Structures are given as structure tokens and as C-alpha cells.
A and B are shown apart, each in its own frame.
Chain A
Amino acid sequence: MKAAVVLFPGSNREGDAVRAIEAATGHKPPIVWHADTELPAGTDLVVLPGGFSYGDYLRCGAIAGRAAIMDAVRAHAARGGLVLGICNGFQILCEGGLLPGVLMRNKDLRFICKMQHLRVERADTAFTRAYRQGQVIKVAIAHGEGNYEADDETIARLEGEGRVAFRYCDEQGVVGGLANPNGSTHDIAGIYSEKRNVLGMMPHPENLIDPLVGGVDGAGLFKSLVAA
């Protein structure tokens, strides 16, 4: 599996993504500059990393969603290629038209960084086959704008088509209430595109790949992709 990580001005978790991919694949993925117009030949997976692309000015992800490289990313996705957007990357996917909806400010208006449990909604996608359906995993969140919103019709379609990837939950896997850190609709932490080849998620699986630093629950996502 050949991965590439896109670097926008203001990205800051690109190194964390590179480290997680390297740990899973044994190869360090190339960094692709935002102003480039092509992905490296043979790229299977494009990762849009976390951070504050363009300072989050205007709207989170709005400027990056229109960066030169995004045409190549959209073409890659249209061909069925895999795309993973984490945190700011999720925001960029929404702003860039690859996923529906928008990430609003957290319900209590504060940035929040903590460990968070997620429920894996399906384990039959390229991103999640190393997990079990319904498995509860513990990963990190670190965002100020992670409150997923979309119109009722879109939410109904996402639910109906099984496109919710992860939901915020408590240790036992129970969703709702205080287990939802940001007010996200239907406790949504991540969603798929129609063909499930594009995943956008707010939490950071790339920071949970090491028992010394919080745990290894995020490694399953990268292991799944290696097998994809």
C-alpha cells in the first residue's frame, strides 16, 4: 500500500500521520506540498493530516479545500482511491466537497484535548477491517471545531447508507449524553463517502499507536489500510 501525506501551510500533525503509516507499512510515506498538482504515481492512500491549515482563517478547512493539490485528491477519490482526513483533514474534506456536512465549533465553545472512546460502527471497510463491529476503542481528540452538522436529509442518508464510521461513546460503548464531547449530531465522530473510500474523522488514531503513549487502539485503522 502506497500512502502520501499532504502538507498545507499550518498543518501540524503530518509527522504524527507519517509515523503511524510508517509503523504499519514499514515505509515512510512521501509528503506532498499543497501547491503541487499531482499525487506521486501509484498512490493508494492520501492522508490529509490534522492542524490549522491556513491558520483556520475564514473557516476551518475552507482555504485548504480549494488548494491546488485538492483537484488531484478529488480525482483520486473519484477513481475509487482511498482518502483519509483526520481532524483538520476531515474539515478540509467537507469544505472540498468530498464529504457532506460541516464541522461547527464545539458546543461549549472551548478547544478540547483528551482521551475519548469511540464505537466502531462497521468493520467491513478498508479503514476498519482490523476492528470488530461495535468495538469500543480509545483514541485522542484535540479540536475546537468538531461538532458535526448537516441537514436532516443528509443525516438520514448517512445513517440509512451506513456511512457513519465512528460515534463518540463512553467506556461501555453507550453513546449520547456526556460521552459526546462536542455536540456532534448523532454523536458522529467520522463519516464515509458513498463508496466508503473516503473517511473523515475528528479523533486522532495516529496518536494512539504506542503503549507508552496512551495505548494502541488507533493502530487498527492503519493495519486495516495496509491490508486494503
Chain B
Amino acid sequence: MQRQTTQITPQLVAEHGLKPDEYERLLALIGREPSLTELGIFSAMWNEHCSYKSSRMHLRKLPTKAPWVIQGPGENAGVIDIGDGLACVFKMESHNHPSFIEPYQGAATGVGGILRDVFTMGARPIACLNLLRFGAPEHPRTRHLVAGVVAGIGGYGNSFGVPTVGGSVNFHTRYDGNILVNAMAVGIAKANEIFYAKATGVGRPIVYLGSKTGRDGIHGATMASASFEADAEEKRPTVQVGDPFSEKLLLEACLEIMAKGCVIAIQDMGAAGLTSSAVEMGAKGGLGIELDLDHVPCREANMTAYEMMLSESQERMLMVLDPAKEAEAEAIFVKWGLDFAVIGKTTDTKRFVVKHQGRIEANLPIMELGDEAPVYDRPHVPTPKKPVIAAASVIAPMSNAEALTRLLATPDLCSKRWVWEQYDHLILGNSVQQPGGDSGVVRIGDGPKGLAMTTDVTQRYCEADPVEGGKQAVAEAWRNLTATGALPLALTDNLNFGNPEKPEYMGQIVGCLEGIGEAARALDFPIVSGNVSLYNETQGRGILPTPSIGGVGLLDDVTRSASVAFKRAGQTILLVGETTGWLGQSVYLRDICGREEGAPPPVDLAAERRNGDFVRSLILAGRVDAAHDLSDGGLAVALAEMAMASKIGARVTVDAGPQPHAFWFGEDQARYLVTATQDEAARIAAEAAGAHVPVLTLGVTGGDAVALTGEAPVAISTLAHAHEDWLPAYMAGRDPAGSAPAPTKQGN
């Protein structure tokens, strides 16, 4: 067992993830050699995960304000005003490294952590989403990781009792040794009853609530700040174990004592556990904190101060209570069967003092622990621009009808039903639009308001051009919300990148953040919360840059929301937005032609705004009865998705131009499909011309096939079978129906 008498050697410092110059900074700050517990506390507070030391100076450039933003980044979650005295509280967070090591528990505790962030602010969670990135399907670990992560997300969210209404699942070999598990939670609170971490008042009791502290997860945040070597498996003991039952009780107990006015400040124990929560409460309030670890409820005997301060045991909260209501709060916790212990008090010393068994284990300046964390302007090089690929230079290797069927059965574009049917997406009875559409749509209480929510990023665009890729991730989230009729209000980001100490990866971070900032400003779509996950690499190779965007939009009347499915035969299909046939970085080019190359489609933010606002106005006026945004796979895939969702076909007769494959599968941005009656469609087309919104009449809905101009019609049942079968077949280890053989390499 480690005690404070341990000699602080350079090796021990390095094992705590502190660089020699960071250790010098620590020595200068406290003027003496730290105890082991103090070294652990610094390591927890100064790691990348907690300090944002590599990203902070770039994050500062992001737009975070708007009249409807109640709380931007820096608290447990972002808060926006949605009217009628209500606020929406949401955030996304990663649990990448733990999920690779132990997929079920890693993913489960990722969901638990993000739910806790939301209800810590006083909100009742109403929905979860996620964004998952796995390695290549043929990689030997991928199937096991998919099964474990999906079961873990379901296992936690289903038991906790919140619907999982949306998500995104992609596969790529660059995630073979480092998968991504990003979980998002959305909650509703009264706008004037939001709870914060800031402690106030001297001499007030600090109360520990929830599960007991064990030795699990010690140094989890440090692990999250290091890259993987081949020994990742050996890190399994640092993965926490989740208990959704305890979290459900903690939720109910916390909301009950908040409603009774007992809580002055509250902070959940997430990354870096007791250390980070206590320091944050004190530092935000300009107060000192004194903890007596003898009173911490422990699951195991003989835990040291070091272990208690760094444990990441789940389902724990720290609070400052109103002393007059302490007994009332305790009674509520006892009723819910949860631990409740006074473990310290606020002081006016601005020191963080930790006592254990009569000894002072740590005595550190509290403000400096957070504020004086190193901030780096790391060297970065921009990603070289890729050449624009001319559609004429891409030879179609098969008919477009066959390419469509195959694309729908690719790992990235196939139906993810196998995944989301393992998530309870119906509980609470408010899921107006369920997984599989553009966004999840959830009614708030008995309505009429609703929220649309989505998670998006196109990592291959970010890899090819970080700035355009960053813009596109924001634009696509905005578009997915818009396609339901919702007004996009704000976003949360989860920035997953490789090692920031390598200028090429740091260049991706800087580029993506530039693009995200530009798009968020242009679309009035501020960033209100987020999380940074760096060092996502294995044996020296980084993941694809993956800045996940979680967007939330508001529907004033949820009954007016639009969905992807065609509603009836005989409707005119309109394409909103300009089509140039951009094949660079398209799924078609990659999965049909075997070429992962070129510049990604450029994002014209003014066009995004114009086209999106136009489509939203059509939906809210009830003039269109189906709407879908165009993204991966382009126009033909979007048409097929609308047909499969409704079992109503489409007959497209528009001239597909000289490069039909580029017309059908190009991934130009700022585009939507909508359907309307013939007369209404004519009026819409005329109005669009006046509003400088390109609108093209494609054809009509009807029949039981998708017929593209000049192509053999493909039965919806054929498309649906290919689309639905790939993932269950893959998970069962059998050959999927309609699966494409490995794409053939094409020289060009």
C-alpha cells in the first residue's frame, strides 16, 4: 500500500503523466516536494482530460453565447432557454479508452457519467443519444466491441429509464485500436432552478452522497489522456463499473432534495472523482475546502488517502447543503437507501486540505490547481489540401441501380436497427420520432413543445480537410434538426483526436475547431458544452479526426414535425439545394470505387442557412409532408431511405446529366428532399426561385420500387432486405444478403 512517505522519483512523476517541466511548475507553485497524495491530485487536475491544456486556447475562439444561452461551457452541462420557463440541459462526453478495454462497462459508465452531468444541474433527463466509431468490420476485435458497447449503453440507459432516441455508428480501420464511444444526454429543468458547482458560504458542510468509494477507476482521467500501446488490455482494472440502479436512486434523491431547497452547490464525481469535484466547488466559489477522509463511505477496507482522492467509483455526488436543511436532505437519502456523509467543510483559506487518520495528506492552493494548469500552444501544421476530383474522372464500375443496392448494405449506410432495438427508445411515452430518421424528436411532457436532437460528424471529410470537415459536422447537425422542422438552438461538441504533441494531429484539432467556430457563428448555433478526448491513437497512429457534434433544436408544436417517410403516392418530390455531383470523399467513391480520396464537398454556410430556413418554413406551414436531409450516399440513398421508411416507392424522371453516378451519389451539402402535392410543389418551386434557393423537381412518389431516371427500378423489398440484413448478419458471423464483394481498386 502506498503511503505519503513514498519517495517522489522522476519515474513516479512520469507514471503520473506529468512532464519534467510540469513537475517543475508544480514545485514552484507549492515551494516544496509534494506528498504522494498531492502528486496524485496534481496529476488528476493537470491531465489533458481535466485541464484542456492542449485545446484550451483554441476552444476560447468558439462562439458560446446567444440570447437563449443560460449557461455555456465550464459547468457540468450547457443550459439553454426553451421558453415557458423551461430550460434544456445537455452535454456529450466520451468514454473511448475504457470502452476499448472493457466495452460493456466502459460504455455503460459513459452513459452514467453523462446522465449525472445533466441531473447535477437540476434537470430530469428525457433522452440519450450516442455516436460510436468502430474499427474495420474485418478486424478481429470489432464484433466483440460492437456487441459489448451496444449492450453496455442499453444496459445502463434502459435500467436508468431514459429513452435512447438517436445516434450514429460508423466503421473504419483507423479506429481498429481505439474505438469512440460518445454519449449525449438531454434533460429538462425549470429555467430559474438550475444548480451549479459554485460553493458559497464559509463553514458549510460538504456532503458526500451516493455509492461507496472503491478502488475502481483510479487514474481513469490520466488513462484518458495517454495513447494506447499494445498493453491496453492490462489497463482493465482502471475501468469503472457502473450501477444504473444506484444512479436511478441518486437521480430521484437529488431531484427531491433540490426541489426542497436543500442544495447550495452540487458537483458530480466524474473524471478524477473526489479531487476534481471538491476543487471545482471551492475554486468556483473562491473558497477553501477541507476534507476529512475518515468519513468517506468506502467499499473496501484500508483505502489510502491517495486511493480515495483518485477513485472514479461511479454514482457519487458532492454537495454543499443549506445547514438548516441538512436533516431533511439526509432523511430523503436514507429513504432512497443511499449513503450520506458529511466529509468536510468550506473554509476561507483558499486551500485544499485533505486529512486522513489525523494526518494532513494534502495542503494545496485551490485556485492554482485549476487555474495554473499548463496551457500549451502546441505546434501545428495544416493538413495539405487534397485535389478536387472531377466526376468525369470517376468511372462507374456498375449500374447506378446496383450501386444503390450495394451502398445501402455497406457498414456505414446499412440500417442500425440491430443496435437501436437494444436501446429502450419508447420509455416515457414521448418519443415522437424514433431512431432511424434525421433526428430523434421528443415531446416535452404533455406538449405541445418538443425537442429534436441529433449527433453527427463525417470523419473522412475532417481527415481530408479539417476546416471544411469541422464546418460540415456542424452544418449536418443543423440540417438534421431543420429537416424535422425544428429551429436549431445550440450544440455540444465532443472533440476526439490523436496525439496533440504531433503537429500533424494538432493541425487537425486547430483546423476542425476553426471550421466548427465558423459554422456555429454563421448558423447561430452556439456551443454550450463539450468534452475533449485527445491521444486517441494506438501504436503511433491516430484515429480519423472526429469532432462529434450533438445538436438540439426546438419545435414549438411537436405535432407539426416532419419525418423522412413518404406519406402517400402521387406526391411531387423536390430537391432543395444545388447539385454539382461532388464525388470527392463520397461513400460512393470509397465503397463502390475503392478510392478514399480527394477534397471533401465544400460547405457554403450562406446556402446552408438559406436552404435550411426555406425548408423549415415549408414544414411549419404544413406545405410539405415529408422531409429528409441529404448526406452520406447522396440523393439516391436519401430517396431510398424515404421509400424504405414508408414502403411507398419513387419514380424519378429528371435528367441526371452527363455524369449520372455523380448526380445520384455525389455529396454536395445544403440539400434536402421534400414532398408536396403537385400544385403545392409548383408554388414552392416558383417561390424558391425568388428566394435564390435552388429547387429541382425530381419525380413522383408511388409504386413499390425506386426507379431512377434511365435505370432499372429496384423493388423496395430488395433495397430493404439489403439494408436491414448487413448488420445482423455481420454480428451473427454469416454472409449478409446483397453484400458487396471487397471494392476493387481503380487506378486513376
* Chain A interface (Cβ < 8 Å from any Cβ of B): 9-10, 12-13, 15-16, 19, 50-52, 54-57, 110-114, 140, 142, 144, 204, 206-207, 209-210, 212-214
Q: Which of B374-428 contact A (CB under 8 A)?
A: 420-428
Instruction: Check A10 against B159 for contact (C-beta < 8 Å).
Output: yes
A sample of 25 cross-chain residue pairs with beta-carbon separation below 8 angstroms, ordered by A number, consists of: A9-B337, A10-B159, A12-B160, A12-B427, A15-B428, A52-B158, A52-B161, A52-B245, A55-B159, A55-B244, A55-B245, A56-B159, A56-B245, A111-B423, A113-B423, A113-B425, A114-B421, A142-B158, A142-B427, A206-B429, A207-B427, A212-B432, A213-B432, A213-B443, A214-B431
Chain A residues whose C-beta falls within 8 Å of the C-beta of B245 in the assembled complex = 9-10, 52, 54-57
Min Cβ gap B334→A in Å is: 11
What distance in Å separates the Cβ of B68 from its nearest Cβ neighbour in chain A?
26
Contact B559 A212 (CB under 8 A): yes
Known contacts A55-B243, A55-B245: does B426 contact A142 (CB below 8 Å)? Answer: yes
Task: Knowing A52-B244, A212-B443, A212-B558, say if A113 contacts B424 (CB, 8 Å).
Answer: yes
Contacts of A52 in B (CB 8 A): 158-159, 161, 244-245, 248
Known: A10-B245, A51-B161, A212-B447. 20 other contacts (CB 8 A): A9-B245, A9-B248, A10-B159, A10-B248, A12-B248, A12-B427, A54-B245, A55-B159, A110-B151, A111-B424, A113-B420, A113-B424, A140-B426, A142-B158, A209-B429, A210-B429, A213-B429, A213-B431, A213-B443, A214-B426
Shortest beta-carbon distance from A141 to chain B in Å: 9
Distance in Å: Cβ of A146 to nearest Cβ of chain B: 13
Tell which of B244, B248, B426, B559 has the most Cβ of chain A within 10 Å. B426
B614 in the interface, Cβ–Cβ < 8 Å? Answer: no
Contacts of B246 in A (CB 8 A): 55
Q: What number of A-B contacts does a CB cutoff of 8 Å give?
A: 84
Q: Which A residues lie within 8 Å of B447 (CB)? A: 212
Q: Are A19 and B429 in contact (CB under 8 A)?
A: yes
Which B residues lie within 8 Å of A19 (CB)? 429
B residues less than 8 Å from A112 (CB atoms): 421-422
For residue B249, CB closer than 8 A to chain A, the reply is yes
Least CB separation from B426: chain A residue? A140
Whether A9 and B249, one on each chain, are in contact in the complex, defined by CB atoms closer than 8 angstroms, is yes
Q: Which residues of chain A come closer than 8 Å to B454, judged between CB atoms?
A: none
Q: Which residues of A contact B244 (CB under 8 A)?
A: 52, 55
Contacts of A10 in B (CB 8 A): 159, 245, 248-249
Q: Which residues of B contact A113 (CB under 8 A)?
A: 158, 420-426
Min CB–CB distance B425 → chain A (angstroms):
6
Is B297 part of the binding interface, using a Cβ–Cβ cutoff of 8 Å? no
B155 lies within 8 A of chain A by Cβ = yes
- Give chain B nearest CB distance to A6 CB in angstroms: 15
| Residue positions of B touching A, CB distance < 8 A | 151, 154-155, 158-161, 243-246, 248-249, 336-337, 420-432, 443, 447, 558-559
Q: Is the CB of B432 within 8 A of A12?
A: no
* Closest CB pairs A-B (n = 9): A12-B161, A55-B245, A52-B159, A142-B424, A140-B426, A113-B424, A207-B429, A16-B429, A10-B245
Q: In the complex, which residue of chain B has the Cβ closest to the Cβ of A114?
A: B421
Assess A204 versus B243: contact at CB under 8 Å? Given A12-B161, A51-B161, A213-B431. Answer: no
A114 to B443: give the CA distance in the assembly, Å: 19
B161-A13 in contact (CB<8A): yes
B422 contact set on A, CB distance < 8 A:
110-113
Q: How far, in Å, is A59 (CB) from chain B's closest CB?
A: 14
Contacts of A140 in B (CB 8 A): 426
B423 partner residues in chain A, CB cutoff 8 A? 111, 113
Q: Quick check: A213 and B430 within 8 Å, CB to CB? A: yes
Residue of A50, A55, A113 with most partner-chain B CB within 10 A: A113
Q: Which residues of A are found within 8 Å of B424, using beta-carbon distances?
A: 111, 113, 142
Contact A9 B336 (CB under 8 A): yes
Q: Are A111 and B429 in contact (CB under 8 A)?
A: no
Determine how close the nearest CB of chain B comes to the CB of A184; give it in whole angstroms. 17
A212 to B246, CA, bound (A): 33
A53 to chain B, nearest CB (A): 9
- The distance from the CB of A176 to the nearest CB of chain B, in whole angstroms, is 20
Interface centre among A55, A210, A212, A214 (most CB of B within 10 A): A212
B336 cross-chain contacts in A, Cβ below 8 A: 9
Query: A111 to B155, Cβ gap below 8 A?
Result: yes
- What are the residues of chain A within 8 A of B443 when measuring CB–CB? 212-213
Please measure, in the bound complex, the distance between the C-alpha atom of A16 and the C-alpha atom of B424, giving whole angstroms: 14
Contact A16 B559, CB 8 Å, known A10-B245, A111-B422: no
The smallest beta-carbon distance between A2 and chain B, in angstroms, is: 22
Closest to A206 in B: B429
- What residues on B are CB-neighbors of A13 within 8 Å? 161, 427
Q: CA separation between A206 and B427, bound complex, in Å?
A: 10
Min CB gap B254→A, angstroms:
14
Q: Give A182 to B161 CA distance when docked, in angstroms.
A: 21
CA distance A10 to B243 in the complex (A): 11
Contacts of A54 in B (CB 8 A): 245
Which chain A positions have C-beta within 8 A of B155? Answer: 111
Inter-chain contact A207/B426, CB cutoff 8 Å: yes
Q: Bound state CA distance, A51 and B158, in angstroms? A: 8
B158 proximity list for chain A (CB < 8 A) = 52, 111, 113, 142, 144
Q: Which residue of B lies closest to A109 (CB)?
A: B151
Residues of chain B with a CB closer than 8 A to A110's CB: 151, 422
Residues in A with CB closer than 8 Å to B249 are: 9-10
B154 to A, closest residue via Cβ: A111
Compute how far the CA of A16 lies from the CA of B445 in the bound complex, rounded to whole angstroms. Answer: 11
Min Cβ gap A18→B in Å is 10
CB-CB under 8 A from B160, the residues of chain A are: 12
Give Cα distance in the complex from A50 to B161, angstroms: 10
Q: Which residue of A lies closest to B446 (CB)?
A: A19
Please name all residues of chain B whose beta carbon is closer than 8 Å to the beta carbon of A16 when the two chains form the complex: 427-429
Q: A144 vs B431: C-alpha distance in the bound complex, in angstroms?
A: 20
List, in ascending order, chain A residues with CB within 8 A of B154's CB.
111
Q: How far is the CA of A161 from the CA of B431 in the complex (A)?
A: 38
For B151, list chain A residues within 8 Å (CB).
110-111
Smallest distance from the beta carbon of B593 to chain A beta carbons, Å?
A: 36
